[in-house]
Structure 1
Amino acid sequence: MDLMNSWMAFLNKYGSSYLDGTLMTLKLSFLGVFFGFILGILIVLLRRSKLKPLQAIAKIYVQMFRGTPLLVQVTIFYYGFSSVLPDQYAALKNPFALSLIAVCMNSSAYVSEIIRGGINAVDRGQGEAAASLGMKKSQIMRYIILPQAIKTVLPALCNEFVTLIKETAIVSIVGVSDLMYQAKIAQGASYKPFMPNVTAALIYLILVTGLSKVISVFEKRLANSDSHS
């Protein structure tokens, strides 16, 4: 009972900070997937290009961002770019902007592979039939292949969002006021090492579990709509 009362008193004092941190975490994760999706499509198109140099650049990009930890990428962007960017780009030197760029590029590498898998799953006969009707390759990709591929991989893209919610916790090391950053602030102010981190862990658990349930329902409805079409 004493523990519960202590926890309620802690939440009463720091609850608003945790709410701000949660919103920042969701904002960073959503923008990371959104811009990562746009960049991911571009990477897929480069990998499908007939020009070998463009293919090579896309492959190296994906390998680099999938083969190194997000923690390393965030620190490189923050400590590296903030020291070389000229003063006129001061707006880009803030922790959130630099962390968002790192998260977007990291996410785009994974999203590109997801989309590429969706494209490969589309029946090649549809593209061949469209080509026989006189459609250009760019039109076939835009109007036939990509819409079907994206619909196929939507659940996977949603899962990427859930994954980013957990992974973006590391941006707290560069001063982004996300959920873990607020937990560190509460820990230092309250001199309680256990309660602030457990509170953050419970919030992450609620977010991930809730979104996973929503995605599961979405997948079932998507499967049902495909079976009836």
Structure 2
Amino acid sequence: MSLDYILTILKPMLQGSQMTLLLFIIAIVLSIPLGFLLTLAVNSSIKLLSLLAQAYIYIMRGTPLLLQLLIICFGLPMIPGIGQYLVLDRFTAACIGFILNYAAYFAEIFRGGLLAIDKGQYEAAQVLGLNKFQTTVRVILPQMFRIAIPSLANESVTLIKDTALLYAVAVPELLHFAETAVNRDFTIVPFFIAGIIYLIMTLILTLLFKWIERRFTFE
């Protein structure tokens, strides 16, 4: 396979990678804060709010992301009466699906981080005269994030790979252009190139989280 051919198919695949990265950035930036809010809701003293948050997390984690994307993209517009108001651009619908899904996973990661903190930390903060808000902000949350970083990194790598599901809702991303080239040219080389691009993206992401983890460790 000539270098010219590789360069020819690489250009559209890199364009598709831009869509992949855009979805990843939007999803990660919005789903992590939403996941944290869900964790707060689960641990809320308001029983109804806690139950609703737990039910949401159970549903989003218990059903396939692909199914959720299909419902948002194609199912919501079919709802009688209000479906016409729920027609979304495919990329927008995909972003919503990814954000809602991954927020549930991040919520569980944060909850695990909270559970891993020794109860003695709360008692020590109380002895130092810190109120509940100060204890949460200065003592608990920094430790929770430090504990959660490895799991956040793992889930983020999964997220960047799951962006391939955009193909299922007709959003042209990396895998779409790879398969187009495969079907057109009867060669699996584009799939290998797509795999290399995914590996590069996940490598960069992994190194970034390792750097963040080191920063938290030495603080």
1:12 is aligned to 2:12: no
| CA apart distance, 1:217 | 5.0
| CA apart distance, 1:51 | 2.0
One-letter code of the match for 2:49? Answer: L
Summarize the Cα distance change of 1:35–1:214 in structure 2 as closer, same or farther, 3 Å threshold. Answer: closer
1:212 is aligned to 2:206: yes
| CA apart distance, 1:129 | 4.2
Matches of 1:78 and 1:111, distance apart in 2: 23
Match of 1:120 in 2: 115
TM-score by length of 1: 0.82
Match of 1:38 in 2: 33
Which moves more between the two structures, 16-25 or 108-117? 16-25
Summarize the Cα distance change of 1:88–1:52 in structure 2 as closer, same or farther, 3 Å threshold. Answer: closer
| CA apart distance, 1:139 | 4.5
Is contact 1:159-1:215 (8 Å) kept?
no
1:195 is aligned to 2:189: yes
Is contact 1:36-1:108 (8 Å) kept?
yes
- Note the alpha carbon deviations across 1:83-126, whole angstroms, 9 max, x for none: 45666676xx1111110111111111110111111112223233
- Note the alpha carbon deviations across 1:157-195, whole angstroms, 9 max, x for none: 22222111111211111122221122233334x332522
1:181 is aligned to 2:181: no
1:110 is aligned to 2:105: yes
Q: How many residues are treated as equivalent by the alignment?
A: 216
TM-score by length of 2: 0.85
Which moves more between the two structures, 213-222 or 169-178? 213-222
| CA apart distance, 1:14 | 2.5
One-letter code of the match for 1:40? Answer: G
One-letter code of the match for 2:63? Answer: T
Is contact 2:44-2:50 (8 Å) kept?
yes
Query: Could you say what secondary structure the match of 1:177 adopts?
Result: coil
Is contact 2:38-2:107 (8 Å) kept?
yes
Is contact 1:33-1:160 (8 Å) kept?
no
Matches of 1:181 and 1:47, distance apart in 2: 38
Query: What residue ranges of structure 2 are gaps of 5+ in the alignment?
Result: none
Matches of 2:134 and 2:122, distance apart in 1: 10
Query: How large is the Cα RMSD of the aligned pairs?
Result: 2.4
1:101 is aligned to 2:119: no
